[in-house]
Amino acid sequence: MSRRPLIAGNWKMNGLRADAKALASEIANLKKSDTADNCDLLVCPPFTVMETVGTAIEGSGVFLGAQTCHTAESGAHTGDISPVMLKDAGCTHVILGHSERRTDHGESDADVQAQSIAAHTNDLIAVICVGETESERESGNALQVVREQIIGSVPAGASAQNTVIAYEPVWAIGTGKVATPDDVQTMHADIRNTLKDKLGEDAANGMRILYGGSMKPANAKELLALADVDGGLIGGASLKSEDFWAIAQSCPSN
């Protein structure tokens, strides 16, 4: 089954308005001048620059996403942002369960599942993140840990249309260490099998599974060529338009 690659930029807590506008405009212009059109592009800026970025990418075909959302649609939740607000701000996607959210904010698989349901209810595509720690990998438990995260975080109503999975080994995020292509392919195939058991063949075969963790122009081509890798979730390298673009250009052509 052919799955259109998705290259997603996770800007994390980076970007003041002027920088965000410049970066988003550069990405939008590159996308507009693209003749290959071999992947979807998504940028996920912080909430404070959502509108700035949304305006800069308007009409370019680049998608807009957020980095988390609350489960409720509105109400007494100081400091939180609801999926309805994200939709209203022009978002089509939302990253959920990133390891930094799981660590910094204690988000559990059950929380991520509830957020994903809220995202789906509001017509947002959930980009659900999973990944093992270094000690879990070293003790030989990586596959089992990620299986449990998939089972616990992905809701029963997930489909290839409303959900993307991002496999991000925690030890590879922002460290410059990258999982070997063999380990990445083994993990992605295992995730797809777990999705088959949970959601059925069609959803599992159609669902995009991204790799994230120190993906850069220099390693992107090899990773993106793997059979079960359908794109990337990019942190550091998404903050430079030329690097983000070089990664997008590394997707296999259709």
Give the residues lining the site for ligand PGA (CB under 6 A).
10, 168, 173-174, 212-215, 233-237
- Whole-number minimum distance, CB 95 to ligand PGA, in Å? 8
Q: Which residue has the tokens 């109503």?
A: 157
- Whole-number minimum distance, CB 166 to ligand PGA, in Å? 7
Q: Which long-range contacts (CB under 8 A, 24 or more apart) does 143-148 make?
A: 143/186, 143/187, 143/190, 146/187, 146/190, 146/191, 146/194, 147/190, 147/191, 147/194, 148/109
98 labelled catalytic = yes
- Whole-number minimum distance, CB 176 to ligand PGA, in Å? 8
Taking the least distance from each CB to ligand PGA, the nearer of 120 and 171 is 171
Catalytic: which of 100, 136, 168, 188? 168
DSSP summary character for residue 252? P
Q: Residue with the closest Cβ to ligand PGA? A: 235
Taking the least distance from each CB to ligand PGA, the nearer of 101 and 147 is 101
Catalytic: which of 93, 98, 120, 188? 98
- Whole-number minimum distance, CB 231 to ligand PGA, in Å? 12
132 labelled catalytic = no
H helix intervals, the chain: 17-32, 50-57, 83-88, 99-104, 109-121, 134-138, 142-153, 181-199, 201-206, 217-224, 241-249
Active site residues: 98, 168
